[in-house]
Structure 1
Amino acid sequence: MLPEPAQYPITGSTAAAIVRSVERGVTSGALRPGEAVPSVRALARTLAVSPTTVAGAYRDLRQRGVLVSHDRSRTVVGHRPPLSGRLFPDVPPGALDLASGNPDRQLLPDLAGALGRLTLDPPLYGVEPAHGPLLDRAAAALGEDGVATDHLAVVGGAHDGIERVLEVHLRVGDRVGVEDPGYIGSLDLVRAMGLTPVPVAVDDDGITPAGLAAALDQGIQALLVVPRAQNPTGAATSAPRRAELGALLADHPEVLVIEDDHAAAVAGPGLHPLSDPSRERWAMVRSVAKGLGPDLRLAVLAGDEDTVARVLGRQRLGTGWVSQLLQRLAVTVWEAAIEDGTLERAAATYAARRAALLDALTERELTAHGASGLNVWVPVPEEVPVVQGMAARGWAVQAGEPFRIDAPPAIRITVAGLPVEQAPAVAADLADVLDHRLGTRRG
């Protein structure tokens, strides 16, 4: 049964006033997570305003994550209020974790052995911010993927790099094109910085040309995308899609393009970057977290000369530099993981696990997406009953709501730790949940 529309008296005669009223209700607890708000037309009648005014307010609230649309006729208060700390999904005791998005610990390289091989004189103030061998290794990898490496910086992880690039170029209220569905951390970061997320639709080949064109028409100042291993859908920008998107972006040279290549060597498909050295402003951030381990909190940032210089200047005023010990450990582990085949083995294993689940879901006539990376995205009519049903059967999966702005409901299944032989059981249980808890899984 659908929840009744909220009884909290939303007020306001303008879109901005309606937004403030809803936000007060959420902050005070009068509007609870999952609670439905009145339809656009119903609220417009109550407030004696135009439906366009209410629609504009709801659109703003959806972009901020305050409201979530479950279908064309029902809008509810989001379960993740904006600016909250990132919440990890609950994994019930005894359930297999297919929700957290972590890499498989067994496929990560040995950090202990690398630590034992390190020799390091303690650096002092005035040290060069980047460790030369780390930059050389990153430049070689980026260059092989067609990314310009004339200007590089070392930052404290992918999101540290993204935040610094946004910070040095954008101002509060600026519009940022973001994938929809897209990574929770990126959506939260954009909102936390006072920027306005503009949803850009995603399919298996990356962001869609129509979605990008619509965002450009809305006057976005920046575009933030994941070129492969997109989280949560597994999308990977294909070469033909890259050409289509590049043609659109060529007409908007002022737009800042930021790419988050967070999975890199273990993503699967090759990289087809939108980052173009001929652009005025661009950045590619490559983290080592998925391939070498999340606790190696660093990434290498490539970009145009001005962007990298600004990032380095802002970094000097804050942390100063990323720990030289961490940088030296990272490059040591990175080189060893290439030499002994750890990265290649991990990429192949993730690809096999992803393909096994996709094949099993297809056999059950279930639509699913997962062209690359560690996740598979499965559209569902309703998320919460599916998550609960799967948990009852021993599988912890992630509801799609936190990843969505306007995209329809789905669940995310992380395949990183899913043995190939268990994929058919996951698909069978998901089909059973959809049949018995929701009454249908077709269409």
Structure 2
Amino acid sequence: MDSSRTVDDLVGLLGTWSVGSGALYRRLADGLRALIDEGSLEPGERLPSERILAAALRVSRTTVVSAYDLLRSEGVFDSRQGSGTRVSLKVAPVRSDGWAANGVGQYMYRNLIQKDADLISASCMSTPALPGFTEIVRESLDDLGPLLTEGTYHPRGLPELREAIADFYRARDLPTTADQIVVTTGAHQAISLVAQLYLRKGSPVVVEDPGFAGCLDLMSDQGARFVPVPLDDQGIDINRLRRAVDEHAPHLVYTMPSYHNPTGTMMSVARRREVGELSARYGVPVLEDSAYTGIRHPREPAPLAAFAPRGAEIISVDSLSKVAWAGLRVGWLRAPAEMALRLSRRKVLADLAGPQLDQVVAVRLLADYDRLSRERSAHLSEAMDHLEALIRRDLPDWRWKRPDGGAALWIELPGIGSRAYAQVALCHGLELVPGTLMTAAPQEHHDRYFRLPVPFEAEGREEIVWRLSRAWRELDRHGPIDAPVPLMI
């Protein structure tokens, strides 16, 4: 295995290996074998020692020894004196499973695909449909008539929807025309299109630290070289941002001003204005990701682009997924008209055009967006109150700051790393996202933190906190494990 990889990389690739039935060592052997079958571990790659892997997985050394022995007996692993344990060269190589090279959030999406009925996953947020959503869909069918006889595509999005999105921004003090809008399959695709257009191998990209793993993956897949900049209580640290732009001449600055994921911080008006001025002065494009909504601040500022002077290149991304329903994959980007045209060409290459039925529904949703977002925010605010009360009751030593908005807590663990805790939580049927996955900086920067999304139902919140407390008591009894070590030992 490449010398830059660590045992934590292997632990992340293993994902939810410990969930299920049967002897623990067999589950571990099955997990390692699956990584070889899918191409994540290649013939000749070196495995960590039994002791190191056992410490990282929070299991006994005997469990790892038995798993390795089983795979050796099957001819999957080879062991030689002085060279450790490796994947056998006799194993037929297969193509990679397609996860982003050097990605940091790949494990989060991996477990979206590999579901387990016994596991509660707190890795990704879910957004059930708001009450009344079904009726909105039914009413939208009446608007579909003219499109059914049209028989064409709209790669940039339905004209009615693009105009509705332009109205959305104009109502937020950001003058916008329909030719500045490209409708996408969720905000995720919008960010992917921007990454494809602006980045190439080695492109310096300034990102907030911590940041959202999924978007870091999209840019990493284009070969981005990250320049992490920390946040303060007003958003991205503007002095360090200026220094990073001056020293690295980035091809892109990526920021989440309303609201930051995972911390929930809302960027101040003054900070938004400073970021816009910096874009204009240095000629650096800024990608403004506003798709992480949920709980909303009553005095939420206008989009960052509204404060940018003439000449600033700001691409704004948003979606309806976190307000209306996660299954409605309608997002969009707003950019200078010439850049919107170039991005729409990327959209054509990606999927030709988005589903028109979804876009018809989106037009009606945008007409009632403010009421719907207030309804979602009120529901989540009550859920957040309940979740915080449960954690204070059962886990009083934990620390966090009530977020300005969004739908998750960024929790700091006292005296223990979140990677170790996440492994113990898995054994209790709960999947967590350690802070080490939410950063492009050295992983130890956020190893005390993890992100905890707010479950929508009270029963789910109670069950999650019960499993969190059981895992915490177990980890507290056994104490912390050693610091992470390189895989090549």
TM (norm. structure 2) is: 0.65
Tell me which residue corresponds to 1:282: 314
Against the structure 1 CA distance between its residues 423 and 127, is the aligned structure 2 distance closer, same or farther, given a 3 Å change threshold? closer
1:356 Cα deviation from its structure 2 partner? 4.0
Tell me which residue corresponds to 2:262: 232
Q: 1:54-109 deviations in whole A, cap 9, x for unaligned?
A: xxxxxxxxxx9859xxxxxxxxxx8958xx96443987656655433112446682
Against the structure 1 CA distance between its residues 96 and 418, is the aligned structure 2 distance closer, same or farther, given a 3 Å change threshold? farther
Identify unmatched segments of 5+ residues in structure 2: 5-38, 57-99, 481-489
Alignment counterpart, residue 46 of structure 2, candidates 15, 23, 30: 30
Match runs of 1:338-417 below 5 Å: 341-358=371-388, 361=391, 364-369=396-401, 370-380=403-413, 381-390=416-425, 396-406=431-441, 407-409=445-447, 410-417=449-456
Pair 1:135-2:170 in alignment = no
Q: What is the identity, as a one-letter code, of the residue corresponding to 2:379?
A: T
1:221 Cα deviation from its structure 2 partner? 1.5
Q: Secondary structure at the match of 2:272?
A: helix
Inter-partner Cα distance in structure 2 for 1:313 and 1:425: 46
Q: Secondary structure at the match of 1:168?
A: helix
Q: 1:148-189 deviations in whole A, cap 9, x for unaligned?
A: 413222222212222222333333321111222221221111
Inter-partner Cα distance in structure 2 for 1:10 and 1:302: 42
Q: What is the identity, as a one-letter code, of the residue corresponding to 1:398?
A: V
Alignment counterpart, residue 322 of structure 1, candidates 338, 354, 371: 354
Q: Is the 8 A contact 2:155 2:348 kept in 1?
A: no
Q: What is the identity, as a one-letter code, of the residue corresponding to 1:322?
A: G
Against the structure 1 CA distance between its residues 89 and 263, is the aligned structure 2 distance closer, same or farther, given a 3 Å change threshold? same
Range with bigger deviation, 233-242 or 317-326: 317-326
Against the structure 1 CA distance between its residues 428 and 243, is the aligned structure 2 distance closer, same or farther, given a 3 Å change threshold? farther
Q: What is the identity, as a one-letter code, of the residue corresponding to 1:408?
A: H
Inter-partner Cα distance in structure 2 for 1:200 and 1:161: 23
Pair 1:299-2:331 in alignment = yes
Tell me which residue corresponds to 2:138: 113
Inter-partner Cα distance in structure 2 for 1:304 and 1:293: 29
Inter-partner Cα distance in structure 2 for 1:259 and 1:291: 18
Q: Is the 8 A contact 2:226 2:440 kept in 1?
A: no
Against the structure 1 CA distance between its residues 328 and 396, is the aligned structure 2 distance closer, same or farther, given a 3 Å change threshold? same
Match runs of 1:15-164 below 5 Å: 28=43, 29-31=45-47, 66=102, 80=106, 86-88=110-112, 93=117, 97-105=121-129, 109-110=133-134, 112-114=137-139, 116-120=141-145, 121-122=147-148, 123-125=150-152, 129-150=156-177, 151-164=180-193
Q: What is the identity, as a one-letter code, of the residue corresponding to 1:414?
A: P
Q: Is the 8 A contact 1:227 1:272 kept in 2?
A: no
Q: Secondary structure at the match of 2:288?
A: strand
1:394 Cα deviation from its structure 2 partner? 6.5
1:414 Cα deviation from its structure 2 partner? 0.6
Inter-partner Cα distance in structure 2 for 1:156 and 1:167: 15
Q: Is the 8 A contact 1:92 1:391 kept in 2?
A: no
1:132 Cα deviation from its structure 2 partner? 3.1
Inter-partner Cα distance in structure 2 for 1:297 and 1:223: 25
Q: 1:174-233 deviations in whole A, cap 9, x for unaligned?
A: 111122222122111111112222222234432222442343122211011222232222
Tell me which residue corresponds to 2:475: 437
Pair 1:332-2:364 in alignment = yes
Inter-partner Cα distance in structure 2 for 1:193 and 1:241: 29
Inter-partner Cα distance in structure 2 for 1:144 and 1:79: 35
Q: Secondary structure at the match of 1:373?
A: coil
Inter-partner Cα distance in structure 1 for 2:171 and 2:48: 50
Against the structure 1 CA distance between its residues 127 and 353, is the aligned structure 2 distance closer, same or farther, given a 3 Å change threshold? closer
1:256 Cα deviation from its structure 2 partner? 0.8
Q: What is the identity, as a one-letter code, of the residue corresponding to 1:199?
A: P
Against the structure 1 CA distance between its residues 280 and 251, is the aligned structure 2 distance closer, same or farther, given a 3 Å change threshold? closer
1:27 Cα deviation from its structure 2 partner? 5.1
Against the structure 1 CA distance between its residues 352 and 211, is the aligned structure 2 distance closer, same or farther, given a 3 Å change threshold? farther
Q: What is the identity, as a one-letter code, of the residue corresponding to 1:397?
A: L
Tell me which residue corresponds to 1:242: 272
Q: Is the 8 A contact 1:178 1:199 kept in 2?
A: yes
Q: Secondary structure at the match of 2:230?
A: strand
Q: Is the 8 A contact 1:98 1:418 kept in 2?
A: no
Q: 1:239-273 deviations in whole A, cap 9, x for unaligned?
A: 24324444544542x11101111145x34121453
Against the structure 1 CA distance between its residues 9 and 229, is the aligned structure 2 distance closer, same or farther, given a 3 Å change threshold? closer
1:283 Cα deviation from its structure 2 partner? 0.6
Q: Is the 8 A contact 2:280 2:312 kept in 1?
A: no
Q: Secondary structure at the match of 1:292?
A: coil
Inter-partner Cα distance in structure 1 for 2:433 and 2:3: 31
Q: Secondary structure at the match of 1:88?
A: helix
Tell me which residue corresponds to 2:296: 268
Q: What is the identity, as a one-letter code, of the residue corresponding to 1:101?
A: M
Against the structure 1 CA distance between its residues 385 and 163, is the aligned structure 2 distance closer, same or farther, given a 3 Å change threshold? closer
Q: What is the identity, as a one-letter code, of the residue corresponding to 1:113?
A: R
Inter-partner Cα distance in structure 2 for 1:227 and 1:435: 36
* Structure whose alpha-carbon radius of gyration is higher: 2
Q: Is the 8 A contact 2:106 2:214 kept in 1?
A: no
Range with bigger deviation, 366-375 or 163-172: 163-172
Q: What is the identity, as a one-letter code, of the residue corresponding to 1:402?
A: L
Q: What is the identity, as a one-letter code, of the residue corresponding to 2:138?
A: G
Against the structure 1 CA distance between its residues 316 and 10, is the aligned structure 2 distance closer, same or farther, given a 3 Å change threshold? closer
Inter-partner Cα distance in structure 1 for 2:209 and 2:350: 32
Range with bigger deviation, 93-102 or 192-201: 93-102
